[in-house]
Homo-oligomer: A and B are copies of this chain.
Amino acid sequence: MSRPIRLNAFAMNCVGHLAPGLWAHPRDQSHRYRELTYWMDLARLLEQGLFDALFLADVNGIYDVYGGKPDTAIRNAVQVPVNDPLQIVPAMAAVTRHLGFGITCSTASEHPFPFARRMSTLDHLTGGRAAWNIVTSFLASGAKSLGQDRLTAHDDRYAYADDYLDVCYKLWEESWADGAVIADKARGIYADPALVRPVQHQGPHFTVEGIHLSEPSPQRTPVLFQAGASGRGRLFAATHAECVFIGGPSRTVLKGYVKAIREQAAALGRDPRDLVIYNLHTVILGRTEREAREKLEDYRAHASLEAGLALLSGWTGIDLSQYDPDDPFRRIHTEAGQSAIDSFTSADPNKVWTIRELAQWAALGGRGPVSVGTAASVADELQAWAAETGVDGFNLAFAVMPETFTDVIEHLIPELQRRGVYQTAYAEGTLRQKLFGRGDRLRSPHPAAGHRQALSA
């Protein structure tokens, strides 16, 4: 086929993800997030649509910048309450065979030794369908919950994450050699101790001594996602990520970002094709353009401006309650909110965006583009985005759950398939094999592969 388009579904173990307010839409099912069947039904649906993965966001704090308190977030269920994303995966894995699962976990949350075991367990139980979205945390409220006075400085968080990953790679790749597990009932030998070695790690942040508690899982290191957009974040992503998740609102900005990160990966000796880049995107589909527009209006009527303001305040670090919603956004330009503001306003640099307009966008679409139309016109748009920017696919947010995904599967995917730009069956194998077609394990010169070589030496 011509250059294929890849799709992930983007969700969160909570009521209001990137369309807060829409949980109150009569057809929305998000309030059922505490039920296993809600997630199992979603997983079956996504597998029917041949999605690469369900990508699960997470936060370790609350959106309390708006008005200096969490009230707006709590009232509108803006990413709070929010449950552990990890635990919904095993039930979804039990009813699917191919769908991948990307779990967001912060390096600020758990010591890498038990964390590495969690990811190995997930990779075992899913038969090699686990992915980890590496985040370093951005909410100050999360730091306070962990007894820290303030967030660690941005660049220091990445240095900490580098050390954290180093521990994980050693545990995943270096501790148990291939062939260590024999599982020979006749001889009564489960594993060969000569092929299992303790990790000895003395890093700037972690000192770890011990063997990995899990035997090697199908992928060893789970597929690595990263979303860093800053300079330091991009270096981190170019070094470690296999899948990059971005929320570029304009084709120009996105094209520059995609080019820069592929170049940076190449400069580190990696094959730029070893990076799959997904852009955040929301699609709203109708059988006619008019029906799609009406659906958008219906959704917008349920979207919450207040919720959008709470999200936007959290992302920018600016308490937007102090301003008139009809103020132009660029007037309240601060250094802290710089990159978030750029990311938004770059969608149309000549437009004077008001706070209200950006909050409405945040409340339906997050920070990514929103395409509204028939399957044909939305397919045109997605193809144009991919062609112009060099992204490999889209991380689809939902407006109404599961309606957004049902619409995509019933209308958009068949259209993309007719155009020969969407897979018509899953490839066999682990998530990594499906994505890259070059085996289950990370390959040199990725830093994880270096650890595996160290073992065979």
The interface of chain A, by Cβ under 8 A from chain B, is 13, 15-16, 21, 23-26, 31, 34-37, 40, 60-62, 69-72, 74-77, 80-84, 86-91, 93-94, 109-111, 113-114, 117-118, 120-122, 124-125, 141-142, 144-147, 176, 181, 183, 185-186, 188-193, 196, 198, 206-211, 213-215, 217, 302, 304
Contact = CB atoms under 8 A, between A and B. Distances in A.
B109 A114 contact: yes
Contacts of A35: 125
19 contacts: A13-B121, A24-B186, A31-B185, A36-B90, A37-B94, A70-B193, A70-B196, A75-B189, A75-B191, A80-B213, A81-B213, A82-B213, A86-B118, A87-B118, A89-B90, A91-B93, A144-B209, A145-B209, A147-B208
A62 B77 CA distance: 43
B75 A193 contact: yes
Contacts of A76: 188-190
Contacts of A210: 61-62, 141-142, 144-145
Contact of A193 (B71, B81, B121): B71
Contacts of A117: 83-84
A94 B125 CA distance: 15
B75 A192 contact: yes
Contacts of A31: 183, 185, 190
A231 B231 CA distance: 56
State the copy count for this chain. Answer: 2
Contacts of A144: 208-210
Top 6 A-B pairs, shortest CB-CB distance: A77-B190, A71-B193, A145-B210, A147-B207, A84-B121, A83-B121
A188 B23 CA distance: 8
A97 to B, nearest CB: 12
Nearest to A28: B185
Q: Which of A21, A190, A198 is the most central at the interface, judged by chain B CB atoms within 10 Å of its CB? A: A190
Contacts of A82: 213-214
Contacts of A215: 81
A440 to B, nearest CB: 15
A21 B88 contact: no
B87 A208 contact: no
Contacts of A211: 62, 70, 74, 80
A277 to B, nearest CB: 29
A81 B191 contact: yes
A75 B182 CA distance: 9
Contacts of A181: 81
A368 to B, nearest CB: 24
B122 A87 contact: yes
Contacts of A208: 144-147
Given A121-B13, A124-B34, A190 B23 contact: yes
A94 B40 CA distance: 9
A126 to B, nearest CB: 8
A74 B15 CA distance: 44
Q: Which of A24, A26, A35 is the most central at the interface, judged by chain B CB atoms within 10 Å of its CB? A: A24
Nearest to A16: B190
Contact of A118 (B36, B72, B84): B84
A125 B190 contact: no
A138 to B, nearest CB: 15
A81 to B, nearest CB: 4
A204 B176 CA distance: 39
